[in-house]
Structure 1
Amino acid sequence: MKKTLLSLAALAAVGGAALLAYALVPTTTPAIAGPAPSADDAALIEQGRYLAAAGDCTACHTAAGGAPFAGGVPIASPIGTIYSTNITPDPDTGIGGWSLDQFDRAVRHGLLPNGDTLYPAMPYPAYVRMHDEDIRAMYAYFMHAVPAVAQENRPTGIRWPLSMRWPLGIWRKTFAPDPQDTGFDASRYADARIARGAYLVQGPGHCGSCHTPRAFTLQEKALDESGSQYLAGGQIIDGWMAINLRGNLADGLGAWSEADIVELLRTGRNRHQAVVGPAMADVVLHSTQHLTDDDLGAIAAYLKTLPPSADEPSSFAPDPGTAQALQAGINDSRGAELWVDSCAACHRTDAMGYDRVFPRMPGNATVLAADPTTLVRLILVGSEMPSTRTAPSNLGMPGFAWRMSDEEVAELATFVRNGWGNRASAVTPAQVRRIRRDVEAEAAHREAPHDPTEVAERG
């Protein structure tokens, strides 16, 4: 037995050493040809400004009340909280000392100048598709148009040994695209407009980072439409479920027109529903509302090419029965009573709401999602639409956690998911209880003081 244990220990040591050696082998990446851009290239800098908006750099690198791009935004991960870093051109605490090649290696390949691998909270598996010239433009913008801010990077909330960097190198080499396979092949698309949309969605927009389900090893299950689960939803981001962006009629965008998609990306709302949750609100606020009409149209055109995902657990067919019963004063369930008492004033008894003001419930993709997390969280804590240039009213919904029990929230959510022609799974009190605990834990974490003993790391 002792010899067996020693042999196993030796094998484990050899295996660990092999993995460490594999992780530490330097990664070669193709260099961007030509000199670094200068501060005099106004057109290139403006292109970089646009691409930084398309990539939504603000949402992750600008903390609430903080200086633009100075970092410090908390990003939840399964192993702890990661804080975004300072990407202003400050030479000591930011990226001011980085060359164009070092910038490219970080953005497209997840590699820091010292060789460490970035946490994949940085969506470099998507950014690898960006063209060389777009990376050059972003470098020009960040180096010559963003004010330098001297702000030290905040420590991560990841404890040792999970905070060790070398396993990230294994993850990157196993799951991220080949570093030699940079750029985007537009020839795969017959239509130039759809190719442009695919580039924006797959590359700078990194939509799959939130809207594509991930494996247990945390890589996205597909990076483009060649995989049937690409943009099929299912990830929980900051407690909210990212919806299916494929052509499913119930829980996807199958019933949406291209104009509907453009309107939601431009204003945060359309005739079907509204943006809920802080992550997508930030996308609209800092990114998509600033894109050109042509680019928003291209994104919409590309998304409309995606067929429905194979798994369609929900369905919708308009049914006036629920509205007729409520209008007749027939509230034959606790869910119906709660709807009339707490929801109908804004969303009406027919649940059609008011276009672009109070979203409709029949056929609502968020309501019909396989996982009811977002609907439950919406009932518990409410939400607020982003205030955009073309739709400045940040209309909101209050939360009802303070006056509805877990059983009542489950009854209401189940009623909404199965009224007016909606057909989706019931919500249980146990599901509500779990989400309520998460909400309470998040509130406690926000109020907790920062732990100064955490070890600072670049992330």
Structure 2
Amino acid sequence: MGDIIATNITPSEQYGIGRYTEAQFKQAVTRGIRADGSRLYPAMPYTAYQGMRDADIHALWVWINHAVPAVDKAAPQTALAFPWSVRPLMGIWNLFNNTPPAPAVPLATPELQRGYYLTEVLGHCSACHSPRNTLMGESSTRRLSGGDQNGWHAPNITSDPVSGIGGWSDQQLVQYLKTGNTPGKGVAAGGMGEVIEHSLSHLSDDDLQAIATWLRQIPPVRQDNETLAAWTHPQTSRDITTQTAGKALYESACAACHRAGGEGAYDNRFPSLTQNSTVGSLNPSNLVMTILDGVHREGDFVSTSMPAFRNALNDAQIADVTNYITAQFGDGKTRVTPAFVAQQRQGGERPLSVVLMGMAPWLLLAIVVILFAVWLLRRKNARHHSRG
């Protein structure tokens, strides 16, 4: 659809929300309606924030107004193409896509209540980790079973032991949420790396445990083509002698950190590529995006940095090295093409609704041409009959 730019929410009276009342602030956060009455796009997750407690909204309001310095600078304006530019359409969208999900199980304990609130409301995890319907709302039938965002794939985090996180221990889940790095399971990059760096790493261990406990309650969803968890592919001897280009690229660009055997180094600071959910996934999106954009994540425990190869390698080279890595360290079957890499480089596969809307002007033109042709044909027939 285009770039949706987050607005200035410092207490600047001219450029931020300094003139908002607390009631107007709540309306924006929980209903997606600004002080001037215009609609916010649901990239601002008011669909989840509608479940926020009044006490938390008040605390956020006080903090923004008294602890955040005002920045007297206008943020760039969001300018989407028609019809996405018509903000009132969001009111219609809300009728179909703004119903909060019911808890998967009764919130019988304080830990479950806290976990639900952190995961489904404040954390709005489903916004990335759920597939989208035709109108780009969250799917209600396959919630948290995986979703695609700007080329990255937010994986299945239901309780399924193969497709989801059912095979992770609580300790592994908490470590991942806290640091973004769990040996033998996975490493956070892309949007999830940002979430961990700027949000989850600042939560208490009790809160992280509550999230892990809640995720255990999510009904399992299994992908049809998956029989092994992504991090459990056996490392057997594989014949990859034909992939000389990919091997050469790996040895020159990757092996110094990840080692020739993919075992990683420095206590997984350079992660192992074996028993790695990104490498072993049947969906190669995240592996390709990691090679394209690298990993850049700061934290109290360790800083993580992997260079981006977006400008250093072309699509064919990234496909070659990806195929070598998956053949050597992953499931041994996943293959990507240069065309797939080019698609990921541009942000991934476009949603069907965006494709159809992009075709709308041409479809309208075709309809006009057809109607005009029918009109001409009828006029010609009418003249023919009048002469007869």
Structure 2-normalised TM-score? 0.78
Partner of 2:143: 230
Deviation of 1:340 after TM superposition, in Å, equals: 4.2
1:76-127 Cα deviation digits (max 9, x unpaired): xx2x212211212223322222222211111111112232221111100111
Partner of 1:215: 133
Name the SS of the counterpart of 1:367 in structure 2. helix
State which of 315, 322, 332 in structure 2 corresponds to 1:406.
315
Code of the aligned partner of 2:337: T
CA distance in structure 2 between the aligned counterparts of 1:169 and 1:430, rounded to whole angstroms: 37
CA distance in structure 2 between the aligned counterparts of 1:186 and 1:136, rounded to whole angstroms: 28
2:225 is the counterpart of 1:313: yes
Unmatched runs of 5 consecutive residues or more in structure 2: 349-388
Partner of 1:42: none
1:124-144 Cα deviation digits (max 9, x unpaired): 011111112211211121222
Instruction: Map 1:1-400 to 2 at 5 A.
Output: 78=1, 80-177=2-99, 188-222=106-140, 227=141, 229-237=142-150, 239-249=151-161, 252-271=164-183, 272-277=185-190, 279-314=191-226, 315-316=228-229, 317-322=232-237, 331-334=241-244, 335-354=246-265, 355-384=267-296, 386-391=297-302, 393-399=303-309
Given that 1:253 and 1:365 are in contact with CA atoms closer than 8 Å, whether structure 2 keeps it comes out as no
Given that 1:357 and 1:395 are in contact with CA atoms closer than 8 Å, whether structure 2 keeps it comes out as no
CA distance in structure 2 between the aligned counterparts of 1:164 and 1:411, rounded to whole angstroms: 43
Code of the aligned partner of 1:352: E
CA distance in structure 1 between the aligned counterparts of 2:347 and 2:205, rounded to whole angstroms: 38
CA distance in structure 2 between the aligned counterparts of 1:140 and 1:220, rounded to whole angstroms: 31
Q: Which 10-residue stretch deviates more, 114-123 or 186-195?
A: 186-195
CA distance in structure 2 between the aligned counterparts of 1:159 and 1:123, rounded to whole angstroms: 21
State which of 432, 439, 443 in structure 1 corresponds to 2:341.
432
Deviation of 1:424 after TM superposition, in Å, equals: 5.2
Code of the aligned partner of 1:406: D
Name the SS of the counterpart of 2:300 in structure 1. coil
Code of the aligned partner of 1:273: G
CA distance in structure 2 between the aligned counterparts of 1:250 and 1:347, rounded to whole angstroms: 26
CA distance in structure 2 between the aligned counterparts of 1:257 and 1:389, rounded to whole angstroms: 23
Partner of 1:54: none
Q: Which 10-residue stretch deviates more, 417-426 or 251-260?
A: 417-426
Identity %: 35
Given that 1:243 and 1:365 are in contact with CA atoms closer than 8 Å, whether structure 2 keeps it comes out as no
CA distance in structure 1 between the aligned counterparts of 2:347 and 2:118, rounded to whole angstroms: 33
1:372-391 Cα deviation digits (max 9, x unpaired): 2221122234222x111122
Deviation of 1:402 after TM superposition, in Å, equals: 2.5
Change (3 A) 1:235 1:284: same
For the aligned residue pairs, the C-alpha RMSD in angstroms reads 2.9
Given that 1:383 and 1:399 are in contact with CA atoms closer than 8 Å, whether structure 2 keeps it comes out as no
Given that 1:186 and 1:195 are in contact with CA atoms closer than 8 Å, whether structure 2 keeps it comes out as no
CA distance in structure 1 between the aligned counterparts of 2:340 and 2:78, rounded to whole angstroms: 30
Given that 1:368 and 1:424 are in contact with CA atoms closer than 8 Å, whether structure 2 keeps it comes out as no
Partner of 1:67: none
Deviation of 1:307 after TM superposition, in Å, equals: 4.4
Deviation of 1:423 after TM superposition, in Å, equals: 5.4
Unmatched runs of 5 consecutive residues or more in structure 1: 1-77, 440-459
Change (3 A) 1:304 1:349: farther
Name the SS of the counterpart of 1:82 in structure 2. coil
Given that 1:89 and 1:148 are in contact with CA atoms closer than 8 Å, whether structure 2 keeps it comes out as yes
Change (3 A) 1:398 1:146: closer
Q: Which has the higher contact order (CA 8 A, sep 6+)?
A: 1
Change (3 A) 1:437 1:400: closer
Deviation of 1:293 after TM superposition, in Å, equals: 1.1
Given that 1:243 and 1:366 are in contact with CA atoms closer than 8 Å, whether structure 2 keeps it comes out as no
CA distance in structure 1 between the aligned counterparts of 2:146 and 2:323, rounded to whole angstroms: 21
Count of aligned pairs between the two proteins:
342
Deviation of 1:332 after TM superposition, in Å, equals: 4.5
CA distance in structure 1 between the aligned counterparts of 2:346 and 2:156, rounded to whole angstroms: 26
1:255-304 Cα deviation digits (max 9, x unpaired): 32222222222222221322112x22221221111111110111122223
Partner of 1:446: none
Change (3 A) 1:401 1:369: farther
Name the SS of the counterpart of 2:93 in structure 1. helix
Code of the aligned partner of 2:322: A
Deviation of 1:189 after TM superposition, in Å, equals: 2.3
Name the SS of the counterpart of 1:395 in structure 2. strand
Given that 1:379 and 1:401 are in contact with CA atoms closer than 8 Å, whether structure 2 keeps it comes out as no
Structure 1-normalised TM-score? 0.67
